[in-house]
Structure 1
């Protein structure tokens, strides 16, 4: 049975816990000061402070129901989550400050026109621009690997942008490097191969 708290007026209050009783006794034994109110605290006020109504919840809703509704909400969010949509860069545009735009810029016709214009851009032959002979690169497999696919096939002129003569010289240099064992026939040099961090 819980002990009752005796107030200074001699009236017994509602039953209280031992913890509350010990804390109220400690308060009564504390030294008095001019601004300190030494009247004992009402246990009913403490119980009111502990109630869910004061802290924003309703008395009918217990934490169990709150937890259950949270778990249901979490489950529906996980089930309904779609993979993130990946939007190709050609369908989005970035504008600079003060730049004007036309609604036509956001149509698929404009995207198709941009694709055609990009294909028609003439690629510059890097060997003709620098004056390097591709035949002299057969001892440099790292450079030759840039002109190979991931499976070791030689890229076409459409991809490399080389002239016909330089494409033939590059092909001969790659074959020479393969015959010397410097370049693999099935992949690029190990420097350009994908790897996993274990």
Structure 2
């Protein structure tokens, strides 16, 4: 029983999510190294749409705002990257899909470097 309590106490002190098969060195278990993992995961505390009082669905015509929530390749960013709460993340995704459906935003965005490195005959008409 004491060993179980001791193991439980150690797992509470570790901030890094260890998985089976992970390789680690003894210094990875030190307090300073564990502190890096604790401070490394900071999520935004406030949602931008809640602060501004904006409904994301109504902003489907605002290309500048919609492009902030998309990657260079045209995919919708994850909520971990946007910092939006789930309700607003779904609304912004719906607004982006609506803008793409109406033709206000490109459905597939080609990054200039991707177009430059591709074969020139492929995109010529």
Instruction: Judge same fold: TM > 0.5, yes or no.
Output: yes
Instruction: Quote the residue 1:60 is aligned against.
Output: none
Which of 77, 97, 108 matches 1:186?
A: 108
Q: In the superposition, relative to structure 1, how do residues 123 and 186 fare at CA in structure 2: closer, same or farther (>3 Å)?
A: farther
TM-score by length of 2: 0.57
The runs of 5 or more residues in structure 1 that have no matched partner are 1-107
Q: Is the 8 A contact 1:149 1:187 kept in 2?
A: no
| Deviant stretches of 4+, over 3 Å | 108-112, 120-123, 193-196
Query: Residue by residue, what CA displacement relative to the aligned partner does 1:144-174 show, whole Å, maximum 9, x if unpaired?
Result: 0110111111111111111111111101100
Change (3 A) 1:113 1:126: same
> Alpha carbon RMSD of aligned pairs, Å?
2.5
Aligned to 1:152: 74
2:38 to 109, 116, 128: 116
Higher helix residue share: 2
**Within 1, Cα distance between the matches of 2:112 and 2:62?**
20
User: What is the number of equivalent residue pairs in this alignment?
Assistant: 85
User: 1:173 is matched with which residue: 95, 111, 114?
Assistant: 95
CA–CA distance in structure 1, aligned partners of residues 33 and 54 of structure 2: 37
Tell which structure's C-alpha radius of gyration is larger: 1
CA distance in 1 between counterparts of 2:76 and 2:45 reads 18
Separation (CA, whole Å) in 1 of partners of 2:64 and 2:32: 39
Q: Which residue of 2 aligns with 1:142?
A: 64
